[in-house]
Homo-oligomer: A and B are copies of this chain.
Amino acid sequence: MTQQLKHIVLFAFKDAATEENIQAIVDAFANLKHEIDEVHDFEWGLNVSPENLNQGFTHCFQLTFLSDADRDVYLPHPAHKAFGDLLHPHLEKVLVVDYWANDK
């Protein structure tokens, strides 16, 4: 299997962020895979863990890249920067980890 670089992003939104604000952010994030060829895959979902270890994060996103060079195109890409401008007024906190997926 081609090695995959997983890019996990978690958001918590400010109390003042409306459902419409948040939906626009999710839609814009999902659209980045159409704007940036180097995004190999994208998925997202709402936290539904019963363990209460989510540290306040509610929105989970996972992008997959096929190389760190592709990730390094994504990070400073103008479309990603524009997404950040949409996001930041409503963002309470963010967590990002990247890892090369090993199965053992």
Interface residues of A (CB under 8 A from B): 5-8, 10, 30, 42-51, 53-55, 57, 60, 62, 68, 72, 75, 94-104
A7 to chain B, nearest CB (A): 7
Copy total for this chain: 2
Q: Is the CB of A95 within 8 A of B45?
A: no
Residues of B contacting A72 with CB < 8 Å?
Answer: 50
Instruction: Tell me if A's interface is mostly helix, strand, loop or mixed.
Output: strand
> By CB atoms of chain B within 10 A, which of A30, A57, A96 has the most?
A96
Pick the residue among B42, B47, B51, B104 that contacts A103 (CB under 8 A): B42
Bound Cα distance A16, B104 (Å): 24
Bound Cα distance A63, B67 (Å): 22
